[in-house]
Structure 1
Amino acid sequence: MSNGHIFVGETIGTAVLILLGCGVVAGVILKKSKAQAAGWVAVTFGWGFGVLGGAYIANSYSGGQLNPAVTIGIAIKSGEWSQVPVYLAGQLVGAIIGAFLVWVCYMGQFKAHLTDPEVLAGEGQDPAGPVSAGADPSPGGPVLGIFSTGPEIRHWVQNLMTEIVATTVLVLFILTLGLTKNNALSGLGILLIAFLVVGIGLSLGGPTGYAINPARDLGPRIVHALLPLPNKGRSDWGYAWIPVVGPLIGGALAGGIYQLAFA
């Protein structure tokens, strides 16, 4: 695969992933949305279908990795690192594009939500939860959860470990499906990964919102910080390192486990 194919494939595929994933969260959270209050199950399936759509679209161009943690795990498995920066660049750009498109599609709902008196009075705020020693007590605003993840209980060790464990499960599953540096996954493999993402969300998503993908969290958080949304609140950069570092550790751990147990 050429660098150009990889960058284009990862950009488009990740944009679709984030558009559908953050889009379902927007539909569930925002007032004047037909999907408002659809619940966590709807969110987890929306993210699963986002993975399905994005990976299918990008599969023939780049292998549809769409996730820096997956890219790191595959590099450890294959020993090939030369194209890793291209994958990471495409994934971050795609995540930013996808998050921006969510705002475009829900522009009226964002305006209605962020000017609603109940929201401004405190309803719909992302909960900070009990604050552990050394934690940043500042939660995000009323729409940050559409763009990026946040913990229910802000405890750095637990939050980091949750992201590491959940991402390790995801990446190890992908590696054992047989993805290599030169071969994309089969259509069935992509479908199985999508269902696993749903399962991870249902089982391990409760504590942190299961980023399990650094680009998925960082790209949309940047968009949240830059968009001219009234009353949007802060972007919670004090927490932002956890959904980046945790998944990267999980991807590397999965690659190491693969080498020790399956290679």
Structure 2
Amino acid sequence: MRAITFPAILLLFSFLTLGASLAQDALTPRQARAKFEKADKALNEAWAAAKAKLPEAEFNKLKDSQRAWVEYRDYLARSPLYSGADSQGELALDSAEYLSAAAELEDMRTEWLQALVEEKPEDETLTGVWTDSYGGTLQVVEREGELFFIIECVRGPTSHIGGLSGVAAWNQTIGWYSDKGVDKEKEEVTSLSFTMRDNQLEIIGANTGHYHGARAYFDGSYVKTGALNTKAQAKVVKAAKSGELQEE
């Protein structure tokens, strides 16, 4: 596998500290249950709001997405590597470590669902922070037919990490990025497509392995969950133009 450069090192550090953080903040079974029930209630409320607001066809598609996400949640939260639990096998669904980790994942999914159905101003640009609720984060600055972007991901309970920055051509609802000519020693051309549909920015990549570890794909359906201030926008533009993610 090709070497992963600085952005991946940052993500790896974040991943490694996650388990330590969860372990240090270990909750009692009662506390973990209360935390999970609170997160689960918020997720159910967001789900009910989505059902009320989305057209039937869109909501039916979301059902499949939600089922897949629940499997992902349990896969991660039951992993000792992810939760920081001192265990050799899958965690029980009633364990404090599982409940605490699952609650944090549900908080991220709730944010994603809320952003999915939120009404956006007609003149709103893509500039902002986007997430896919599967460990993928996208920062975008939209300017005059271009998307300056940084995309980073941490997939799965192990260190499947990656990062890429660049400038994509953008035409209203469709965008395209290629790293052709960026690295003359790189044989395969990496491409990303961006498609905006129903408040979701769908990203599909080709030959992206140079920028990430095994299975740490950039592909996903991202929704806008936050804003970027002027300083943050400048950092995104700088990184996109250079093709390098800078250390904080």
Per the normalisation by structure 1, the TM-score is 0.28
Structure with higher Rg: it is: 2
Structure scoring higher RCO (CA < 8 A, sep ≥ 6) equals 1
Per the normalisation by structure 2, the TM-score is 0.29
Of Structure 1 and Structure 2, the greater strand share is in 2
Of Structure 1 and Structure 2, the greater helix share is in 1
